[in-house]
Amino acid sequence: MKIERNKSLKKHNTFGINVKAAEFIKINSEKELTETLSIHKERNIFILSGGSNMLLTQNLEALVLHIAIKGITTSSQPDSSVLVSANAGENWHDFVQFCIDNDFGGLENLSLIPGYVGSAPIQNIGAYGVELKDSFISCEAIHVISGAKKHFTKEECNFGYRNSIFKNELKGNYIITKVTFRLTTKDHVLNTSYGAIENALKEKNITSPTIKDISEAVIAIRKSKLPDPKEIGNSGSFFKNPVITSKNFAELQKLHPDIPFYQVDKNNTKIPAGWLIEQSGFKGKRWGDAGVHAKQALVLVNYDNASGQELLELSKRIQKTVKEKFGIILETEVNII
């Protein structure tokens, strides 16, 4: 396997940050992965897949392993479902399109999310009323130190809102190599509850949508709000939507009667961070090449040559202002490296 030294990672992170990796290896198979791990036992290893959920703020002294293991397999089940396994290096959106082309239902609402299959479980990707965990069955992963393979069930992954065991107790310990989903082959269970999807279908006079119709609606909505990382560097939502107690929310609502919210359960209320950031005056603003997207304030953007540090400083200014104005702490959704 070829080791590239002093390699620019600009093309390997969707923010387009130009930092360098001391050493970089592209991994094409599980065998290459276990061999590399055993040869470089002493090295500090950094795992990079699609680079779509990270802000790189410094050069990486580590050995960067770019997981590019490809391949999709399917296994029909007797109950109108199919088990679909995708290797970690498959592009997420291409994988979703593969499922739609084969009329496998379940992932259509997750169309056009940037990144690779292997990192999707780490943050339990979600959009438009659906999360990865809804159709996830299991994943396989290699232990970074021992090289041993482990099979993780859904329960073991401990999924939450943009969260899993791989972001917590097992952070940095495992490299996900394969993910398996159970998808429907008929009588698809469609999720059209999200207002923007309903509107998009209505506009096209679609009353009995197919999974392809939903996917196309989602693609249109995402394109209208979210910047395409190929054109403007970004990592999707930079912060999580904060959840506060419903008691605190009631106080906040008195001061800001038009604050949008989702009731999580009896005691907890989720507030769109995009609204908090917009109300704090950041939407559409730009400092050098670092900015806040004009159509969705939750997305920070790199117009060209912003450094990771500049974006990090901007994110801290946003956190400080939102804290002062609303008393709410915004947690980052992207990993700051």
C-alpha closest to that of 301 among 328, 276, 277: 277
Rounded Cα–Cα distance for residues 155 and 72 (Å)? 23
Q: Can you tell me which residue has the tokens 């779509």?
A: 52
Q: Which is nearer to ligand EPU, 152 or 275 (CB)?
A: 275
Residues that bind ligand EPU (CB under 6 A): 127-128, 225, 236-237, 240-241, 260, 272, 274-275, 278, 283, 296-298, 333
> Catalytic: which of 119, 162, 215, 310?
162
For the stretch 244-281, what's the b/e string if a residue is b when 16 or more beta carbons lie within 10 angstroms of its beta carbon?
bebeebeebeeeeeebebeeeeeeebbbbbbbbbbbbe
Answer yes or no: 333 catalytic.
yes
Q: Which is nearer to ligand EPU, 81 or 241 (CB)?
A: 241
Q: Taking the complex as a whole, how short is the minimal distance between the CB of residue 260 and ligand EPU, in angstroms?
A: 4
Q: Which is nearer to ligand EPU, 77 or 168 (CB)?
A: 168
Q: Taking the complex as a whole, how short is the minimal distance between the CB of residue 265 and ligand EPU, in angstroms?
A: 17
Q: Taking the complex as a whole, how short is the minimal distance between the CB of residue 114 and ligand EPU, in angstroms?
A: 8
Answer yes or no: 280 catalytic.
no
Q: Taking the complex as a whole, how short is the minimal distance between the CB of residue 116 and ligand EPU, in angstroms?
A: 14
Q: Which is nearer to ligand EPU, 4 or 331 (CB)?
A: 331
> Catalytic: which of 111, 237, 280, 307?
237
Q: What is the set of active-site residues?
A: 162, 237, 333
